[in-house]
């Protein structure tokens, strides 16, 4: 604009003051600045801030008046815990979806901010507000110390640990917030908070500070690595769900999962027993679920970086976004994880137990738990597979299977007659796994085959349903750089009957 | 990656198609917008306007064909397209708990401006859109007209050479509409290319160098408003008032070549001249005077654009073929 002259119709108004802003430095991320400006004005933050101060004052007063310090101590930590572990992460639960709701996501996508910077900026802003809350708690810690009965260093370490946990949970919440369905977000939040508030503290405090075990440096390092990786993974998941189709974040999510799994397995050889295997499996499972429910990007430019080298091209089938490449990723991840577990087993017990069927049943069942919903999705909800609802459908099928498994296990516990038929009648991976762990099923070849089929058949069906996308990716990789680059590859044409795409035209 | 050229058209669309679930939203459309032009994009709801504009703005992807902005391909090089393009959607997005100044500051930061340059850009845009006096007002408390000015300001923060405005005047009151139109006129005078969609053809007529009509995903007319008014039958209708009255005009028209009497009015009537050429039309008036008629009024009858558009649609329906002029 060379001449910023106001229109004649509106130029006659009073001259305006020259506006300026200098509240944040230039080097701050734009998203961090925006979120801080907005976030600290929200009613939730202001209310949480005031209530926390109020309760802190009450707790300190109570501690000063009472000789019994346990009651005030409990209240003190309860309020800090609720604020940091529940209130702050829950504020992140609408962070990315709000950009869709307010029709602002596309405006941001047209700027230089990529999806990762958007998600990361929102996370840092939320953490900055958490730190602000924590800083206001510190004076009360000091007062409690002078009133007696508490260890200041332990208190400070606990606050630091809760802050770190809050940062991790905020990342989870922001990752989940990319799902536009409120129901999906609520279900994940309820499941996640239940798991994390029960298992999380038990693992963390048990390993690091309490229980019968001494302070364990290796476990602590692994847990810190897991928290850092989890933070990265969930922020990347969130970013990938809001990214334009031309951005490839699958390589970060899936490559990161492999790297973390390898690092976790390496911890076994540093003296840890079962925790590395569990965490490696968990990381790969989360990445696998994300990969199997990711919308297909269909933009050949995504495949372009893989075209440069013949050796790199096959990697596109693992590391380009979309559920069709997720099938290959999951298969490869399962083989890699199984190989890691086998390496651990062999290093511990030699090759003698390799023909033991129980671990095979357990491994295939675990894989089947992740893949089994695909069977129902590709039979009953095939049109949802290229939409944002893909994950939602997967989630609700998974929840349904969980409920069914719990009911079936209750029935098994209640009736000995039913027990014999249950595992044959409903050979669900989850039921077979529980039966295997409880020693309720025979270690027979039948269950090895059934659990293997339960894991691989859904992948095979998904591969058949997604063959067009796989072929399109292959064409983008191995054909010359023709004009097909401007086409949305693999998407059925207007005259090709049923389409897997359920997008609707803007107008 | 396509190589941009200083001679490249501001917008170049070639055989562009977009389909969703087997439905053709846009069907092999092609058109070019030269730098500095203001082009109106007209069509009914569901005609494919927003889909086309979103593809040009790199917010959607073509199913087939190609779109370039200033020589940059929207699929191959979206980042370069975004640097030269300002986008104003029909539904402008605003944030709660954020002032006008903070809103513009955020987008200036996000577009890579820092320090004094960012401050200058924000100030310039606020002055241009006359929002400086509202800088401390929360954006979700702005009126629709102010909101549209803010949205236009946001689109202008990085001083783009090409502006795509999707229904910018929708829902505005007459005063806000005039203000917005004035801003767009200033931008056009500054040499920016403006590609603007609207339902209100009379507004576009005043602003646009040419109009692009789209119907059911296909371009059915590309030309000036004048060309659209003339229609496709190659005739001009003139309204004539004579001191002698309608009968004299009718008898004169029966004798004159290339002229037909259409209908009578109180002191004259309408004539059909089988040409659009101004010289031929002026020649008819000259002959009338030479033949001794007392011409009180002689003016070309302007068809309303809406009528002309509907006429084109009617003709296409009867012929079953699209026409691009």
Which tens digit of pLDDT belongs to each residue from B105-143? 999 999 999 889 999 999 999 999 888 888 899 998 888
- Mutating which of B1, B2, B15, B21 best tests the A interface, going by the most A Cβ atoms within 10 A? B21
CA distance B172 to B180: 9
Distance in Å, alpha carbon of A32 to nearest chain B alpha carbon = 10
> What's chain B's average pLDDT?
86
A 226-255 near B (Cβ less than 8 A):
244-246
Question: Which contacts of A101-107 are long-range, i.e. CB under 8 A and separated by 24 or more positions?
Answer: A101/A180, A102/B93, A102/B94, A102/B95, A103/B89, A103/B91, A103/B92, A103/B93, A104/B93, A104/B94, A104/B95, A105/A242, A105/B93, A106/B59, A106/B87, A106/B89, A106/B93, A107/B87, A107/B89, A107/B93, A107/B107, A107/B154
Q: Does B114 touch chain A (CB under 8 A)?
A: yes
DSSP-assigned states of every residue in B103-123: HHHHHHHHTT--HHHHHHHHH
Q: What is the reported pLDDT for A502?
A: 38
**DSSP state, residue B165:** E
Q: Does A1 touch chain B (CB under 8 A)?
A: yes
Query: Which of B73, B98, B109 has its CB closest to that of A486?
Result: B73
CB A112 to CB B110 under 8 A?
yes
Compute the count of residue pairs across chains A and B with CB atoms less than 8 Å apart: 193
Q: What is the reported pLDDT for A503?
A: 42
Give the range among A270-274, B94-98, B163-167, B207-211 with minimum mean pLDDT: A270-274
CB B123 to CB A497 under 8 A?
no
- φ, ψ at B270 (rounded to 5°): -115, 135
Distance in Å, alpha carbon of A255 to nearest chain B alpha carbon = 25
A334-391 pLDDT, tens digit each: 999 888 888 887 877 776 666 677 888 888 999 999 999 999 998 887 776 667 788 8
Q: Does B133 touch chain A (CB under 8 A)?
A: yes
3-state secondary structure of B23: strand
> Among B72, B92, B75, B91, which residue's Cα sits nearest to residue B83?
B72
Q: What is the reported pLDDT for A292?
A: 94
Q: What is the reported pLDDT for A262?
A: 92
CA distance B270 to B255: 15
Query: Which of B91, B111, B126 has its CB closest to that of A19?
Result: B126
CB A111 to CB B98 under 8 A?
no
Query: Which of B24, B92, B122 has its CB closest to that of A494?
Result: B24
**DSSP state, residue A436:** H
CA distance B41 to B52: 10
| CB-based contact A4:B124 (threshold 8 Å) | yes
Find, in chain A, the residue whose alpha carbon is nearest to that of B49. A507
- Tell me whether strands B85-88 and B162-166 are parallel, antiparallel or unpaired: parallel
A244 contacts in chain B (CB < 8 Å):
58-59, 78
CB B19 to CB A494 under 8 A?
yes
Q: What is the reported pLDDT for A228?
A: 94
> Among B284, B208, B222, which residue's Cα sits nearest to residue B252?
B284
3-state secondary structure of A506: coil
Query: Which of B75, B122, B182 has its CB closest to that of A485?
Result: B75
Beta bridge partners of B306: none
* Owner of token pair 């944030």: B95
Q: What is the reported pLDDT for A258?
A: 94
Give the range among A11-20, B238-247, B269-278 with minimum mean pLDDT: A11-20
Q: Does A47 touch chain B (CB under 8 A)?
A: no
* Owner of token pair 């292959």: A474
> Among B183, B215, B199, B222, which residue's Cα sits nearest to residue B306?
B199
A 69-108 near B (Cβ less than 8 A):
102-108
Total Cβ atoms within 10 A of residue A48: 19
Q: Does A501 touch chain B (CB under 8 A)?
A: yes
Per-residue pLDDT of chain A (507 residues; tens, 9 = 90+): 544 444 444 444 444 555 567 778 888 999 999 999 998 888 888 998 999 899 888 888 888 887 665 667 778 888 898 899 888 998 999 899 999 888 899 999 999 999 999 999 999 999 999 999 999 999 988 888 887 777 888 889 889 989 999 999 999 999 999 998 889 888 888 887 777 766 666 665 555 544 445 557 888 888 889 999 999 999 999 999 999 888 899 999 999 999 999 999 888 888 777 788 888 988 999 999 999 999 886 677 888 889 888 889 999 999 999 999 999 999 999 999 888 888 887 877 776 666 677 888 888 999 999 999 999 998 887 776 667 788 889 999 999 998 988 888 888 877 766 666 777 777 888 888 888 877 777 777 888 898 999 999 999 999 999 898 899 888 888 875 544 444 454 555 555 443 334 343 443
- Among A134-148, B228-242, B308-322, the range of highest mean pLDDT: A134-148
Distance in Å, alpha carbon of B252 to nearest chain A alpha carbon = 49
Q: What is the reported pLDDT for A10?
A: 44
Complex-level ipTM: 0.82
Q: Does A484 touch chain B (CB under 8 A)?
A: no
CB A108 to CB B110 under 8 A?
yes
CA distance A366 to A160: 35
Distance in Å, alpha carbon of A450 to nearest chain B alpha carbon = 37
Distance in Å, alpha carbon of A2 to nearest chain B alpha carbon = 7
B 17-36 near A (Cβ less than 8 A):
18-25
CB B21 to CB A499 under 8 A?
yes
CB B46 to CB A507 under 8 A?
yes
Find, in chain B, the residue whose alpha carbon is nearest to that of A246. B75
CB A487 to CB B62 under 8 A?
yes
CB A507 to CB B51 under 8 A?
yes
As given in the structure block, the two tokens for residue A333 are: 């991840």
Query: Which of A2, A111, A112 has its CB closest to that of B190?
Result: A2
Q: Does A32 touch chain B (CB under 8 A)?
A: no
Q: Does A154 touch chain B (CB under 8 A)?
A: no
CB B97 to CB A113 under 8 A?
no
Q: Which residue has the higher pLDDT, B28 or B176?
A: B28
Distance in Å, alpha carbon of A120 to nearest chain B alpha carbon = 14
Write the CB contacts of A331 (distance below 8 Å, at least 6 apart in sequence). Answer: A459
Query: Which of B92, B107, B124 has its CB closest to that of A111?
Result: B107
CB B186 to CB A9 under 8 A?
no
Query: Which of A5, A30, A504 has its CB closest to that of B110?
Result: A30
Find, in chain A, the residue whose alpha carbon is nearest to that of B138. A38
A33 contacts in chain B (CB < 8 Å):
105-106, 109
Distance in Å, alpha carbon of B315 to nearest chain A alpha carbon = 24
- Mutating which of A494, A496, A498, A500 best tests the B interface, going by the most B Cβ atoms within 10 A? A494
Q: Which residue has the higher pLDDT, B22 or B287?
A: B287
B109 contacts in chain A (CB < 8 Å):
26, 30, 33
CB B187 to CB A1 under 8 A?
yes
Q: Does A488 touch chain B (CB under 8 A)?
A: yes
């Amino acid at each position: 604009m060379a001449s910023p002259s106001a229109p004649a119709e509106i130029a006659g108004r009073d001259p305006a003051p020259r506006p300026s802003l200098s509240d944040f430095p230039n080097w701050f991320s734009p998203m961090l600045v925006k979120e801080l400006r907005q976030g600290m004005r929200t009613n939730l933050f202001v209310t949480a801030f005031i209530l926390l101060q109020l309760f802190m004052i009450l707790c300190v007063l109570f501690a000063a008046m009472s000789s019994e310090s346990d009651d005030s101590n409990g209240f003190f930590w309860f309020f800090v815990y609720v604020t940091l572990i529940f209130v702050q992460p829950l504020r992140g639960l609408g962070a990315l979806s709000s950009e869709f709701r307010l029709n602002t996501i596309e405006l941001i996508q047209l700027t230089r901010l990529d999806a990762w910077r958007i998600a990361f900026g929102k996370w840092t802003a939320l953490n900055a507000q958490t730190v602000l809350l924590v800083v206001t708690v510190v004076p009360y810690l000091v007062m409690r110390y002078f009133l007696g009965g508490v260890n200041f260093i332990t208190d400070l370490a606990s606050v630091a640990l809760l802050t770190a946990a809050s940062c991790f949970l905020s990342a989870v919440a922001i990752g989940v917030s990319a799902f536009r369905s409120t129901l999906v977000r609520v279900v994940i939040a309820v499941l996640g908070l239940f798991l994390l508030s029960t298992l999380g503290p038990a693992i963390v405090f048990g390993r690091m500070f309490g229980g019968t075990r001494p302070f364990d440096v290796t476990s602590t390092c692994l847990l810190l690595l897991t928290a850092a990786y989890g933070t990265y993974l969930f922020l990347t998941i969130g970013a990938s769900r809001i990214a334009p189709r031309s951005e490839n974040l699958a390589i970060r999510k899936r490559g990161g999962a492999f790297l973390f799994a390898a690092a976790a397995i390496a911890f076994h050889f540093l003296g840890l027993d079962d925790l590395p295997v569990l965490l490696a499996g968990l990381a790969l499972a989360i990445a696998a679920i994300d990969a199997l429910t990711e919308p297909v990007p269909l933009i050949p430019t995504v495949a372009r970086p893989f075209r440069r080298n013949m050796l790199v091209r096959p990697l596109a089938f693992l590391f380009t976004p979309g559920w069709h490449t997720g099938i290959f990723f999951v298969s490869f991840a399962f083989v890699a994880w199984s190989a890691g577990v086998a390496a651990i087993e062999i290093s511990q017990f030699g090759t003698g137990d390799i023909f033991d069927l129980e671990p095979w049943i357990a491994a295939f069942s675990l894989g089947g738990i992740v893949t089994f919903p695909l069977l129902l999705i590709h039979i009953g909800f095939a049109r949802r597979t290229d939409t944002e609802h893909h994950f939602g459908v997967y989630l609700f099928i998974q929840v349904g299977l969980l409920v069914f498994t719990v009911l079936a296990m209750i029935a098994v516990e209640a009736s000995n007659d039913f027990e014999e038929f249950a595992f044959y009648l409903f050979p669900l991976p989850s039921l077979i796994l529980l039966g295997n762990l409880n020693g309720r099923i025979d270690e027979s070849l039948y269950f090895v085959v059934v659990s293997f089929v339960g894991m691989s058949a859904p992948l095979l069906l998904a591969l058949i349903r997604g063959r067009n996308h796989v072929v399109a990716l292959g064409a983008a990789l191995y054909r010359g750089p023709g004009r097909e680059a401007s086409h949305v590859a693999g998407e059925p044409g207007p005259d090709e009957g049923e389409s897997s795409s359920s997008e609707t035209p803007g107008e | 990656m396509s190589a941009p050229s200083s001679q490249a058209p501001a917008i170049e669309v070639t055989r562009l198609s977009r389909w969703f679930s087997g439905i053709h939203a846009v069907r092999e459309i092609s058109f070019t917008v030269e730098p500095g032009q203001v082009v109106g994009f007209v069509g009914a709801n569901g005609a494919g306007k927003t889909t086309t504009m979103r593809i040009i703005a790199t917010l959607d992807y073509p199913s087939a064909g190609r779109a370039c902005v200033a020589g940059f391909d929207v699929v191959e090089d979206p980042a370069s397209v975004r640097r030269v393009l300002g986008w104003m959607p029909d539904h402008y997005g605003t944030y709660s708990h954020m002032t006008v100044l903070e809103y513009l500051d955020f987008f200036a930061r996000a577009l890579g401006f820092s320090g004094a340059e960012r401050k200058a850009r924000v100030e310039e845009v606020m002055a241009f859109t006359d929002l400086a006096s509202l800088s401390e007002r929360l954006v979700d408390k702005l009126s629709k007209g102010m909101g549209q000015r803010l949205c236009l300001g946001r689109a202008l923060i990085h001083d783009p050479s090409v502006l795509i405005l999707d229904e910018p005047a929708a829902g505005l009151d007459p005063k806000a509409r005039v203000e917005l139109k004035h801003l767009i006129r200033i931008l056009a005078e500054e040499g920016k290319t403006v590609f603007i969609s609207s339902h209100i053809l009379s507004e576009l007529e005043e602003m646009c160098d040419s109009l692009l009509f789209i119907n059911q995903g296909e371009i059915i007319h590309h030309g000036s408003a004048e060309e659209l008014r003339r229609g496709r039958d190659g005739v001009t209708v003139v309204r004539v008032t004579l001191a002698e009255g309608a009968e004299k005009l009718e008898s004169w028209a029966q004798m004159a070549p290339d002229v037909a009497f259409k209908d009578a009015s109180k002191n004259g009537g309408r004539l059909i001249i089988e040409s659009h050429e101004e010289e031929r039309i002026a020649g008819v008036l000259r002959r009338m005077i030479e033949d001794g008629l007392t011409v009180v009024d002689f003016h070309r009858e302007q068809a309303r654009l809406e009528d002309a558009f509907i006429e084109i649609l009617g003709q296409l329906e009867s012929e079953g073929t699209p026409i691009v002029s």
